[in-house]
Amino acid sequence: MPVLDTTVAKRLGEIIHTACRLRLDTLIPAVGENDHALLRLLNLGGRVSPLKLISTEGKTDGRRLREALELLGPVFIKFGQLLSTRRDLLPAEIADELARLQDQVAPFSGYQARDMMQASLGPERYSQIAAFEIDPMASASIAQVHAASLKSGEAVVVKIVRPDIQTTIVNDLAVLTTLSTWVDRHIKEARRLHLPAVVADYERTILLELDMCSEGANGQQLRDNFAESPLLYVPRVHHSLTTPEVLVMERVYGIPISNLTALNAAGVNIKVLAERGVETFFTQVFVHNFFHADMPPGNIFVDATDPEQPRYIALDCAIIGTLTERDQEYLARNLMAFFNRDYRQVARLHLESGWIPPHSDAVAFEKVIREVCDPIFAKPLNEISFSHFLLQLFETARAFDMEVQPQLVLLQKTLLYIEGLGRQLYPQLDLWKTAKPFMENWMEERMGPMATVRAIADRAPELLQQLPKLPELMLNASSQLMRLEASVAYQQTNLNQIADTLKTLNRGSRLRRWTGVLCLGTAILVLWTPMTSALSTSGTPVAVGLLAAVAGLVLLLRL
Question: pLDDT tens across 219-259, in order?
Answer: 999 999 999 899 999 999 999 999 999 999 999 999 998 88
User: Model confidence at 56, in pLDDT bands (50, 70, 90)?
Assistant: low
Question: Got the DSSP string for 431-463?
Answer: HHHHHHHHHHHHHHHHHSHHHHHHHHHHTHHHH
Q: So what's the pLDDT on residue 389?
A: 67
**Cα–Cα distance measured from residue 210 to residue 246, given in angstroms and rounded to the nearest whole number:** 10
pLDDT, mean over the chain: 78
**Cα–Cα distance measured from residue 94 to residue 87, given in angstroms and rounded to the nearest whole number:** 9
Question: Does the annotation mark 294 as catalytic?
Answer: yes
Q: What is the mean pLDDT of residues 476-484?
A: 74
Paired residues of 150 in beta bridges: 129
Question: Got the DSSP string for 160-183?
Answer: EEPTTHHHHHHHHHHHHHHHHHHH
**Cα–Cα distance measured from residue 2 to residue 175, given in angstroms and rounded to the nearest whole number:** 9
Q: How many CA atoms lie within 13 A of 90 on its CB side?
A: 22
Q: In degrees rounded to 5, what are phi and psi of residue 321? A: -115, 150
**Cα–Cα distance measured from residue 73 to residue 65, given in angstroms and rounded to the nearest whole number:** 13
Please determine, for residue 498, whether its predicted confidence score (pLDDT) is greater than 50: yes
Q: In degrees rounded to 5, what are phi and psi of residue 358? A: -65, -20
User: Model confidence at 331, in pLDDT bands (50, 70, 90)?
Assistant: confident
Q: Considering only 99-108, 382-391, 432-441, which range has the smallest mean pLDDT?
A: 382-391
Q: How many helices (H) and strands (E) does the chain have?
A: 21, 11
Q: What is the mean pLDDT of residues 156-163?
A: 95
| H helix runs in 341-430, sequence order | 343-353, 362-377, 386-397, 406-425
Q: What is the mean pLDDT of residues 376-401?
A: 66
Q: What is the mean pLDDT of residues 264-286?
A: 90
Q: What is the mean pLDDT of residues 106-117?
A: 93
Closest CA to 156 of 121, 125, 186, 130: 130
Q: What is the mean pLDDT of residues 306-316?
A: 93
Burial readout 399-424 (b: 16 or more C-beta within 10 A, e: otherwise) = ebebebbeebbbbbbbbbbbbbbbbe
Please determine, for residue 155, whether its predicted confidence score (pLDDT) is greater than 70: yes
User: Model confidence at 391, in pLDDT bands (50, 70, 90)?
Assistant: low
User: Model confidence at 320, in pLDDT bands (50, 70, 90)?
Assistant: confident
Paired residues of 302 in beta bridges: 255, 312
Closest CA to 416 of 381, 391, 384: 391
Tens of pLDDT, residue by residue over 42-55, are 555 555 555 555 66
Closest CA to 272 of 381, 420, 425, 421: 425
The pTM (predicted TM-score) of the whole model is 0.67
Q: What is the mean pLDDT of residues 83-100?
A: 73
Q: What is the mean pLDDT of residues 62-67?
A: 87
Please determine, for residue 18, whether its predicted confidence score (pLDDT) is greater than 80: yes
Q: Which of 172, 184, 294, 430 is catalytic?
A: 294
User: Model confidence at 2, in pLDDT bands (50, 70, 90)?
Assistant: very low
Cα 309 to Cα 24, 304, 431, distances in angstroms = 49, 8, 19
Q: So what's the pLDDT on residue 91?
A: 78
User: Model confidence at 28, in pLDDT bands (50, 70, 90)?
Assistant: low
Q: So what's the pLDDT on residue 344?
A: 85
Please determine, for residue 347, whether its predicted confidence score (pLDDT) is greater than 90: no
Q: So what's the pLDDT on residue 307?
A: 95
Q: So what's the pLDDT on residue 131?
A: 96
**Cα–Cα distance measured from residue 171 to residue 9, given in angstroms and rounded to the nearest whole number:** 9
> 85 or 503, which is more confident?
503
Percent of the chain with pLDDT over 70: 69
Tens of pLDDT, residue by residue over 138-151, are 888 789 999 999 99
Percent of the chain with pLDDT over 90: 22
Helix (H, G, I), strand (E, B) or coil at 304: coil
Strand-strand pairing, 232-233 and 311-314: parallel
Please determine, for residue 302, whether its predicted confidence score (pLDDT) is greater than 90: yes
**Cα–Cα distance measured from residue 219 to residue 260, given in angstroms and rounded to the nearest whole number:** 26
CATH 1.10.510.10 is the classification of domain 110-163+211-320: yes
